Structure formats: C-alpha cells, structure tokens
Amino acid sequence: MSLVLANTKRLYIKAFLVELLLIFICAGIVYLLFAHKFSSFLLGSLIAFVPQIAFIGYALFIKSHVPVENKAKVLYQSEGLKLALTVSFFILVFVCLKPDFAGLFTGYFIFIILNNLLPLLFNLNSNRQ
C-alpha cells in the first residue's frame, strides 16, 4: 500500500507543478489578449487550484497514516475542506473585488477540468511505461 501511496503522491506533485505552470502561461495569454480580464481569470484559476491542493494535501499527505477503515472519513473531510475553501474564496472575491464574471468563471472551469484530467493523463502515461 505504501508504494501505491508514494506513486500517487508523486503523480499529484507532478500534476500540481504542471497545473501551476499552465496557470501562469494561460494568465499571460489572457493578459496579452484581454488585459481587463486578467485579474479575474487569475483569481478564478487560483480558486480552482488552491482548494484542490488542500484536498490532496489533507488526504494524501497529512492523513496518509490513517487506517484503511477510516479512509472514507478522511476523503469526506477533505472534500468538506475543499468545498469550504471554494465557497469562502468565491464569497471573498465577489464581496471585495467585483470581478469580471466571464474571466473569473473561465479560469475556474478550465482549471477544474485540468484538476481532473492531468492526474488521469499522467497515470495513463506512467502505466504505459
């Protein structure tokens, strides 16, 4: 089990690094093409990225020692943390910053999709080797 957990941790670290790089690349492209949507796009992508890091960090790194019988509980706790962070970030952004909705939700949905696709693609790639 520890080998599977170690491989999963490496997979998510790699996915998060690639996703962070993609955030900066996409934000740069948005800045060049739609400068007025840049900050909203960046905030939306970070709202998708940071809670996912909290979810994986809590489930795989902080609570990795939990017995198998309690893994479902840890996943529910991680999902609750992710949901609370996402809602809190959206409330904070809407109340304090008045973002451009198109830029915010474009960044958010692009990186929500990448949160799911990158680990899957890296896992498929590692299984082929």
The 10s digit of each residue's pLDDT in 68-126 is 788 899 999 999 999 999 999 999 999 999 899 999 999 999 999 999 999 999 888 87
Alpha carbons 23 and 25: distance in angstroms, whole number: 6
Alpha carbon dihedral 100, 102, 104, 107, in 10-degree steps, equals: -150
Say yes or no to pLDDT of 67 above 90: no
- DSSP annotation of 91: H
Both tokens of 33, joined, read 């093409």
What rounded mean pLDDT belongs to the chain?
92
Packing angle of the helix pair 38-56, 71-96 (nearest 10 deg): 160
pLDDT band for 1, please (50, 70, 90 cuts): low
Question: Taking the domains of the chain in order of start, what are their residue ranges?
Answer: 2-128
